[in-house]
Amino acid sequence: MTLWRWSEMLPATPLHARLDLGAGNTPLVHSARIGRAAGLENLFFKLENTNPTGSYKDRFAAVAISQMLAHCQTRCVTSSSGNAGASLAAHCAAAGIECEIGVIVTAPSGKLDQMRAYGANVTRVEGFGIDDEITRQVFRFLTRRAEQPDTALQISAFCWSPLGMAGVKTLSYELAEQSSSPIDHVFSPVSGGGLNLAVARGFQDLVGDGRLSSSPRIDCVQPAGNDTVAGPLRAGAERARPVAWTTQISGLQCASILDGHELISAARASGGTGHLVSDEQIWEAQARLAREEGIFCEPAGATALAGALQACEQGDLEPRARVVCLVTGAAFKDPPSIERMLADDPVATRTLSEMIADP
């Protein structure tokens, strides 16, 4: 059964303009080992790394590029730390739309290669994503580039591309249908806040039309080195804050507010809170997902689990609580993180005689 609900996402888009590479309908799997070890009986993983280009951003891109097709637009302009650019590039390739991407300087090679493989015009901009003034100038430049009628600016944040981001709400619709019991907590990584805000709004939709009696708590997890939302949310603040990021977690290096203010309000309304974790906790969670669950994800995709495990250790989760962690991106996108994981375990080269002789 398809859960995309295109009629809700694209009410004015004709059928011939609805581009679908197969995004959504991703698995919700019960933890095989980590949950039991942590004392969480009902720990689940939503495998967004199984989307067509390897991340949840396909939900955004499918809606955004379909809308461009409906309006006969032929050039997409965007900025990205990696996953959104790769997803937009793939959907643009399928739609015959030119794709121009300005990427932050820390974007991993795997994500850059993926964008380029789809035929996108990719430029790494010096200082972008690190220097506040340069970042603002890049956004102004991209906005000017998108002023032509045949061009659209597509950035994966509600404050920039609300229609495309509405597609991410389908994640909540799927969780509601896939879970056999009400979900108590959804743990999700925070970058600019759009993912978490979409999930919160998706559950609000379901409560509003009577399909759910209440929303799960939306728990926002960030690296301590990019505390724009999680810290303020936990401290009771009303607004997010810009920071100078220090985290090494690709995809979560977003010092700008973007959807942060709205996310704090929506997460708090759900009963959720913020969780700050170290880069080391995230890398450990990434390794555990691979070695204990068979889930191959990038560090950003393991961040939700790092937050859930910390919350469990601190006594913030009931042992029987139904907890879902969003695994947002695949590991092939971030080769350095896998090299880090395997640095102390090189592949041995041996002769056949040595192998036979080894008992």
Task: Select from 125, 146, 161 the last residue of a domain.
Answer: 161
Distance, CA of 86 to CA of 342 (rounded, Å): 25
pLDDT tens, residue by residue, 91-112: 999 999 999 999 888 888 889 9
Mean pLDDT on 36-55: 97
Distance, CA of 285 to CA of 230 (rounded, Å): 19
Q: What's the chain's average pLDDT?
A: 92
Is residue 11 classed exposed, middle or buried when 0-12, 13-18 and 19+ CB atoms within 10 A define those classes?
A: exposed
**Is residue 358 in a domain?**
no
Distance, CA of 355 to CA of 255 (rounded, Å): 52
Looking at residue 216, what is its pLDDT? 98
Distance, CA of 273 to CA of 261 (rounded, Å): 14
pTM above 0.95, yes or no: no
Which 3 state secondary structure label does DSSP give 46?
strand
User: Closest Cα partner for 154 from 193, 98, 205, 107?
Assistant: 98
130 and 71 in a single domain? The answer is yes
**Is residue 74 in a domain?**
yes
**Is residue 316 in a domain?**
yes
226 and 180 in a single domain? The answer is yes
**pLDDT above 60: residue 5:** no
Task: Select from 92, 126, 161 the last residue of a domain.
Answer: 161
138 and 258 in a single domain? The answer is no
278 and 238 in a single domain? The answer is yes
Task: Count Cα atoms within 13 angstroms, Cβ side, for 14.
Answer: 6
Distance, CA of 262 to CA of 142 (rounded, Å): 24
215 and 295 in a single domain? The answer is yes
pLDDT tier, 291 (very low <50, low <70, confident <90, very high otherwise)? very high
**Is residue 134 in a domain?**
yes
Torsion from C-alpha of 84, 247, 135, 61, nearest 10 degrees: 10
48 and 110 in a single domain? The answer is no
115 and 90 in a single domain? The answer is yes
Domain count, the chain: 2
265 and 201 in a single domain? The answer is yes
Return the exposure string of 47-58: e unless at least 16 CB atoms fall within 10 Å of the residue's CB, then b.
bbbbbbbbbbbb
pLDDT tier, 126 (very low <50, low <70, confident <90, very high otherwise)? confident
**Is residue 32 in a domain?**
yes
CATH number of 228's domain: 3.40.50.1100
| Complete DSSP assignment for 291-349 | III---B-HHHHHHHHHHHHHHHTT-S-TT-EEEEEE-BBGGG-HHHHHHHHTT-PPP-
**pLDDT above 80: residue 222:** yes
321 and 227 in a single domain? The answer is yes
Looking at residue 43, what is its pLDDT? 98
What number of residues does the chain have? 359
User: Closest Cα partner for 4 from 124, 191, 126, 166?
Assistant: 166
24 and 124 in a single domain? The answer is no
Mean pLDDT on 243-265: 92
Task: Select from 133, 161, 189 the last residue of a domain.
Answer: 161
223 and 132 in a single domain? The answer is no
- CA distance to 78, 151, 217, per residue, from 69 (Å): 16, 11, 36
**Is residue 132 in a domain?**
yes
DSSP category for residue 290: I
**Is residue 350 in a domain?**
no
**Residue-number span of the structural domain to which 108 is assigned:** 57-161
**pLDDT above 80: residue 16:** no
**pLDDT above 80: residue 8:** no
168 and 265 in a single domain? The answer is yes
